[in-house]
Structure 1
Amino acid sequence: MVTRRAYSLYHYNYWFSQIPKHFNPTTRRNVCTSIHSQTLLQHYPNSNPKPLFLDVNSCFSIFDCQIFHTKLIKCGNYNDGFIGDQLVGLYAKFGNLYGALQLFDEIPNKDLVSWNSIISVVSRNRDVGKSYSLFCRMRREMGLNPNEVTLISLLPVFANKQALVEGECVHVYAVKLGFLCEAKVVNSLISMYGKCCAVYAACQLFEAMSLRNLVSWNSVIAVHVQNGLSEEGIYYFNNMRMAGINPDRTTIVTLLQAFGDLAAIRPGRAIHGYIIGSGFSLDVPVGTALISVYSKCGSLDASYELFLEMNNPDRITWTAMLASYSMHGHGREAIDFFNLMVKKGIRPDHVTFTHVLNACSHSGLIEEGKMYFESMFKDYGVTPRIDHYSCMVDLLGRSGLLDEAHELIQGMPMEPNAGVWGALIGACRVQRNIKFGREVAEILFALEPSDPRNYIILSNMYSAAGQWKEASEVRALMRARGLKKDAGYSYIEHGGKVHGFVVGDESHPVSKQIYVKLGELIVKIVNAGYVPNTEFVLHDVDEEVKKDMIYKHSEKLAIAFGILVNDTGIPIMITKNLRICGDCHSAAKFISLVEKRAIVVRDSKRFHHFANGLCSCGDYW
């Protein structure tokens, strides 16, 4: 027998789909309600659905919702499951999650649709504990088995490391109930595992799929790109094309992120051409992703040209362009762009101000940074968050105002996190204030005992000051806690491939030629006035050994390779996973002078554009 719920939903949706789409939504709902009411009354004479639908459509606030709730109680429809589900959805829609849950508990005849509705509502509010608790109640108290809608509604809320265990439990249910043959469920599981950094589990699920759709491919590509495995993401994209699956906008945006992370400008340009040739409109998501790619590949001018081509860029696009100026160290230009953004009527948000403050920090614009920090709430109603305090601590500290930076931390309205203290210890390193740096390091060791970066910074400070005993003690503490330093890598794109180098690397196929070219470069820049700065060799060895070690840094190897394989006049683009060292920064300036080559280095924080013996950062980084 067809239930009233099923009949009601079917006919309402059917008539809604039949009404011409050029009618506005309100007209379509009213016409649909009128037709649907008459049809439903013929089959269920005792029901009166018309007032119900009209009242639902007229609810525009929590107050309207409460009036509707009162009417339902008076007319006796309060216990109807279909009506109760709608009312639960209304309470959630207007932000009253407590009211929605309370009403849900009062509904006497809850079925699977009711449980799916409330699980979906709670999941959208990112409440991991409550979502999983409802799921368990449904299984335990009602004896109901979840369907694919239940799982698809539930899995997104577990998309973080802390909820991986709950996500795995839902995976077990999916296996037991045979839902792994449903592509939508598997796609949700892949996405969940990817956001929990469980890449291997996501790949296993993908490889086991018998029928993969576009969403499946997009999910596995995104899993790798989101976890810093951009090359693997591109590999899956190529396999997708070989499988005959054409990309959509989601694929394009994810792929552009991968090319930006790898600083691979040629594939980025190729995708740009594909977008134009395939008829994709340069909408906000695609255009913003392209702006980010060109910026991350060192081509700020191309980013700006693309920005000018876009129709009606929104706040996200403006912020992406602002972030590009910040990343390239163009503080004044970033401020001018921000002022233009406000003048155009685009209201900045907390992300916008993060990039503005970063731009001020990268350019040493102390007064401007203070002004924008103060104006956030006063002029724009944006409450400063912890990221903004971190930017201000970095700005003040690296400008030599360590005491003022420390006072700012002490006056924060929230508890300072490792990011804030990390900005302060970085400033202590720049200012060579070992005593203060040691105090900050102790705080960081307590906050993040498993983060090797804090130990490395303190050890490097001791090494640069020649305090080898203290540096050795910090390294010993790292070893005792099972921590290792992240290896420094430098990457350069050539011949459609990304070539990676580490310090003293001899694994490259043309390694001999690279070292010959590097030797020639060292001779030239020494004759031009370059003096190796061996304080960046963090080992207590002889001076000549230090020089030999510093000559083989990954940045210098990548630059030598770039000069070896690229024609004169082509800028050399290097990407580094850590901060560029001071000696390599100095060497790059001299190489740009003697070779008359433009060199661009993107380190973990910002860009350095070297030309004619100078750097765009003005030696301030």
Structure 2
Amino acid sequence: MSDADAAPAAASLNHWNRLIQLAAASGSYADCLRLYAGSLVAAGLRGDASTFPSLAKSCAALRLPGLGRAIHARAFLSGAAVSRDAFVRTSLIDMYAKCGRLPDARRLFDETPRSSRTLVAWNCMVSAYGRSSQVEEAVAVFNAMRRAEVRPSGSTLVGLLSGCADSVSARNLGVCLYGLSVKSGLDADLLVSNSVLTMLVRGNQLGAARSLFDRVENKSVVTWSAMASGYLQAKDCIEVFDLFRVMRAAEQSMDSVLLANLTTAATLFGNLLVAKAVHALVIKGGFQCQNDLAASLVNLYAKCGDPLAAKEIFDSVHYKNAVLWTSMLNGYVECGCPDKALETFDAMLCAKVEPNKATLLAVLSACANLGYPNLGLQVEEHVIAMGLQSDLQVSTGLVDMYCKCGSIQHAREIFDSVSNRDLAIWSAMINGYACNGEGSEAVTLFSEMQNRGVRPDAIVFTHILTACNHCGLVDEGLNCFHSIAMEYSIKPSIEHYMCMMDLLCKAGHLSSAMKFFKEMPVQLRNQVLAPLISAHRAHGVDSSIEFVSEELLNLDSQDSGHCILISNMLSCLGEWKKARNYRRIISKQGLVKKPGCSYIELGA
């Protein structure tokens, strides 16, 4: 190119570079790439060191590693001055890292001369390893950075802390890094404080997190959201509301993440008035059309027992994603409307929205509630089509659904096909046998589960005791009950005691039932008296009536229902005088007999 042609070409390149840089700076990344391909390259220009950083940034933002690699090749073909430029190399390293191409990023980083490695380049590598939870690699790069006498910045520590937040084993390292930030004065950096706070919250160190939160002076909305998420992990919705009140007093602006936390707190609280107040805040903030927040609101109203309000929010969103559809499905299941849930699933398929794993789990729950095995078969076809048949949660959902629909054999086939069984799927299958009256099968499966080294929990013991109860397996039930505390150090619940009492009474083991009753915790005895008294009545035995009645009245002397129960039982046994005595107790102690009532459904 002659000197006469070089000046206009340089002017043209500068013109296109300015447009490309402006497009990238304004977030118009697709336009940035179009300007390069459709204008600069079309004009026969190669680009220079001012061209490629904006292009790499655009590829990173749009997650286009293939195009990024082509941009990388173009940069190196543009001459040694461009290929060696530190800013160009750093932008390409950042592009590869953000596109998840860590080996490419590391290769380019290692090829960069030490003298050309900028702080940004070091930070890119540290952050890339941190984001992918490769904490050891991130620390190795950090140590190499310090040996190269490059002073770390707040961004360096944020990159390291991001990996520590998601790794239990690395949280001690995170505390050390926080100490380093204090020593170097970087703890004043809000990004560093927010990263440490997030790490402490994810590690369930709420006390330390709150202490740090209170010390941060210029809190951002991220700071408030991180602290709120910590309280949500602890299921402490009151603290979340209190935090929100303080935040509003500080005139802190809200974002969608903070409002999502507030919505979750309201869901835990379960109050409809609170739900409406949070909904009003979402509308006031202008976030009501966001799919994720709309899904949270749908879930909130469903948990508060208002499916109509949930449906109104659902209908108000024009472009619904799978998350929102699934929330509506779950909402109907929560509110006891499984038929509506299945109608919603049909509508979702008609709208050509691809269901996800959570969607299928919700539909399986609806099928189980309705007892529709044929529809369950159709859902299983979706499971196979989506390649989820090996997913443990989905398999558990299928087992539970078929058991509740009475297709116990099909449930067992799915159960047997799962190799990596966890406690949940064992529990679902055992409960399936219990609910279908196959107590012996439940006991056998329970023994197999224990032999496989799977430790039962309180719920599994409830299932197995229910199975023994349905089938009158007294010895098996007693053995299971005694193993709850003796072998597994689980404190028996009222459900366990009620199953055992019912089992003993139905089998006519009244002396064992009375012994069991006497050995129970005192505060639980009044809740198991119904089967005990009914058993005495059914067998015409009154020798223990006086003992039971004394226990009953000592436990809750303010409950007239207990006196009525004993009185009626004595009347049935012909003990009229004793029956009248218990009636007199009601008048003597000033108790009031609760009136009987019944319900009828009006309308079609």
TM-score by length of 1: 0.67
**Equivalent position to 1:476, from 474, 483, 486:** 486
Q: Which residue of 1 aligns with 2:425?
A: 420
Matched residue, 1:392: 398
Q: Which moved more, 1:47-56 or 1:171-180?
A: 47-56
Structure 2 match to 1:350: 357
Larger radius of gyration: 2
Match of 1:580 in 2: none
Deviation at 1:546, TM superposition (A): 9.6
Q: Deviations over 1:281-324 (max 9, x none)?
A: 44323322211110011111221122122232222111110111
C-alpha contact 1:441 1:458 (8 A) present in aligned 2? no
Q: For structure 1, which runs of at least 5 residues remain unmatched after alignment?
A: 1-11, 37-46, 489-502, 507-518, 523-530, 536-540, 557-590, 597-610, 614-621
Residue in 2 aligned with 1:214?
221
Structure 2 residue 243 is matched with structure 1 residue 236? yes
Structure 1 segment 83-482 matched on structure 2, within 5 A: 83-109=88-114, 110-139=117-146, 141-160=147-166, 162-163=168-169, 164-277=171-284, 281-378=288-385, 385-412=391-418, 415-431=420-436, 433=439, 436-437=442-443, 439-440=445-446, 443=449, 449=455, 453-454=459-460, 458=464, 466=474, 467-479=477-489
From 584, 589, 597, the equivalent of 1:594 is 597
Range moving further from structure 2, 174-183 or 125-134:
125-134
TM-score (normalizing by structure 2):
0.68
Higher relative contact order (CA 8 A, sep 6+): 1
Instruction: Specify whether residues 80 and 294 from structure 1 end up closer, same or farther in structure 2 by C-alpha distance, changes over 3 A only.
Output: same
- Residue pair 2:122, 2:145 contacting (<8 A) in 1 also: yes
Per the TM alignment, residue 373 of structure 1 is displaced from its structure 2 partner at its CA by: 1.6
Give 1:388 shift: 0.6
8 A contact 2:133–2:167 mirrored in 1: no
Distance 1:382 1:473 in 2: 36
SS at match of 1:298: coil
Query: Is 2:49–2:88's contact at 8 Å kept on the other side of the alignment?
Result: no
Aligned partners of 2:65 and 2:96 also within 8 Å:
yes
Assess if the C-alpha contact under 8 Å between 2:260 and 2:293 holds in 1. yes
More strand by share: 1
Q: Indicate the larger mover: 359-368 or 449-458.
A: 449-458
Partner of 1:571: none
Question: For the Cα contact (< 8 Å) 1:425–1:441, is it kept in 2?
Answer: no
Relative to structure 1, the CA distance from residue 143 to residue 448 in structure 2 (aligned partners, 3 Å threshold; closer, same or farther) is farther
Whole-angstrom distance in 1 between the partners of 2:327 and 2:353: 13
Q: Does structure 1 conserve the Cα–Cα contact (< 8 Å) formed by 2:94 and 2:121?
A: no
Q: Which residue of 1 aligns with 2:540?
A: none
* Structure with the higher fraction of residues in helix conformation: 2
User: Could you list the per-position Cα deviations for residues 432-477 of structure 1 after superposition, in whole angstroms to 9, with x for gaps in the alignment?
Assistant: 6265346446636966659555456556766885533441232112
How far did residue 207 of structure 1 move?
2.4
1: CA distance between counterparts of 2:463 and 2:150?
55
Q: Secondary structure at the match of 1:356?
A: helix
Task: Specify the code of the residue in structure 1 equivalent to 2:487.
Answer: L
Assess if the C-alpha contact under 8 Å between 2:53 and 2:91 holds in 1: no
3-state DSSP class of the match of 1:49? coil
Matched position secondary structure for 1:345: coil
Whole-angstrom distance in 2 between the partners of 1:63 and 1:264? 50
CA distance in 2, matches of 1:58, 1:470: 63
Q: Which whole-Å deviations, capped at 9, do the CAs of 1:415-448 have from their partners, x for residues lacking one?
A: 2233322322333443462653464466369666
Judge conservation of contact 1:460–1:471 (CA < 8 Å) in 2. no
CA RMSD of aligned residues (A): 4.6
| 1:82-141 alpha-carbon deviations (Å, 9 max, x no partner) | 2222323333455433322333233222332112112222333344454444444444x4
Deviations 1:43-77 (A, max 9, x none): xxxx9325635864896855444444445555334
Unaligned runs of 5+ in 2: 1-15, 41-46, 496-520, 534-544, 562-593
Identity of aligned residues (%): 20
Paired residues of 1:422 and 1:444 also in contact (CA < 8 A): no
Say if 1:57 and 1:356 are closer, same or farther in 2 by CA, change over 3 A.
same
Structure 2 CA distance, aligned partners of 1:294 and 1:103? Answer: 52
Whole-Å Cα distance in 1 between the matches of residues 414 and 483 of structure 2?
Answer: 31
Rate the CA distance shift 1:88–1:225 in 2: closer, same or farther, 3 A: same
Please give the alpha-carbon distance, in whole angstroms, between the structure 2 residues aligned to 1:434 and 1:543.
33
Tell me the distance in 2 between the aligned counterparts of 1:403 and 1:289. Answer: 38
CA distance in 2, matches of 1:154, 1:389: 38
Q: Which amino acid is the alignment partner of residue 201 of structure 1?
A: A
Map 1:483-522; keep pairs closer than 5 Å: 484=491
2:487 alignment partner, SS class: helix
Instruction: Name the count of aligned residue pairs.
Output: 495
Q: Which amino acid aligns with 1:174?
A: S
Given the superposition, is the C-alpha separation of residues 15 and 425 from structure 1 closer, same or farther in structure 2, using an over 3 Å criterion?
Answer: same
| Cα separation, 1, equivalents of 2:406 and 2:530 | 25
Contact 1:398-1:427 within 8 A present in 2 as well:
yes
Higher mean alpha-carbon deviation, 437-446 vs 391-400, is at: 437-446
**CA distance in 1 between partners of 2:251 and 2:259 (Å):** 16
CA contact (8 A) 1:19 1:32 kept: no
Alpha carbons of 1:438 and 1:544: their partners in 2 closer, same or farther (altered >3 Å)? farther
- SS of 2:353's partner is coil
Report deviation, 1:229: 1.7
